[in-house]
Amino acid sequence: MTTEVTLHTVNEEPRVLDTDLAERLGYARPRKIRDLIFKHSTELLTYGSIAPTRGAYRGKEFTTY
């Protein structure tokens, strides 16, 4: 089964939503990829920006990448 990944453009650079990437990689809990991104953000920033966005759902705040 192939999961499609939608590319978005941020500052004229192609991006993929963190949870879309995690689903494509087969993560059982796709939102857990956010913990990995946060933990390794210093190294990831050496490859380019990670474009974090703040959001909220049912009163709980979160960050998407």
Assess contact for 6 and 16: CB atoms under 8 A.
yes
Per-residue pLDDT tens over the stretch 18-48: 999 999 999 999 999 999 999 999 999 998 8
Please report where in the chains the tokens 């009163």 appear, as a residue: 59
12 vs 28, which has greater pLDDT? 28
pLDDT averaged over every residue in the chain = 87
Closest alpha carbon to 30 in 38, 39, 18: 18
Find all residues with CB under 8 Å of 39, minimum gap 6, and list them: none
